[in-house]
């Protein structure tokens, strides 16, 4: 049962345009959401996060939007650059019964930014 879903395996965008990566989740106990970027042969790199008490967090070209009622979040990259081409993972976290946290990951979306 995939608690964090990234329904688009791939996305292709023109340089300079906006990239929008989507993520849906099913567990209402999740209270933190993170986006990671992964280049081939490297580990994932933390990009940006958002707490469930917010609906938007912005960091430079990257903005994450959270819609709690729809259990949906999205990552916007504006403007997109060829160096942004990578696999983007959405991850969610919530306290479990043992008061521990772990990250639940989506399957990733492969973004290609074309020059």
Partner 1 sequence: ETGVTQSPTHLIKTRGQQVTLRCSSQSGHNTVSWYQQALGQGPQFIFQYYREEENGRGNFPPRFSGLQFPNYSSELNVNALELDDSALYLCASSFYGGPGPIAQYFGPGTRLTVL
In whole angstroms, the minimum distance from the beta carbon of 6 to partner 1 comes to 8
In whole angstroms, the minimum distance from the beta carbon of 46 to partner 1 comes to 4
Site for partner 1 in 78-97 (CB under 8 A): 89, 91, 93, 95-96
Q: Of 74 and 79, which has the nearer Cβ to partner 1?
A: 74
In three-state form (DSSP H/G/I as H, E/B as E, the rest C), the secondary structure along the chain is CCCEECCCCEEEEECCCCEEEEEEECCCCCCEEEEEEECCCCCCEEEEEEECCCCEEEECCEEEEEECCCCEEEEEECCCCHHHCEEEEEEEEEECCCCCEEEEECCCEEEEEEC
With CB under 8 A as the rule, give the number of residues binding partner 1.
28
Task: Using CB under 8 A, list all residues that contact partner 1.
Answer: 4, 31-32, 34, 36, 41-46, 49, 51, 89, 91, 93, 95-96, 98, 100-108
């Amino acid at each position: 049962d995939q608690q964090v879903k990234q329904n688009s395996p791939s996305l292709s965008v023109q340089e300079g345009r906006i990239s929008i990566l989507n993520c849906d989740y099913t567990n209402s106990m999740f209270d933190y959401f993170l986006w990671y970027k992964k280049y081939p042969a490297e580990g994932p790199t933390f990009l940006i996060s958002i707490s469930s008490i917010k609906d938007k967090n912005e960091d430079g070209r990257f903005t994450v939007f959270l819609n709690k009622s729809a259990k949906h979040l999205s990552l916007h990259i504006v403007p997109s650059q060829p160096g942004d081409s990578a696999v983007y993972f959405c991850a969610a976290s919530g306290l479990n019964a043992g008061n521990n946290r772990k990250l639940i990951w989506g399957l990733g979306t492969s973004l290609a930014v074309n020059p």
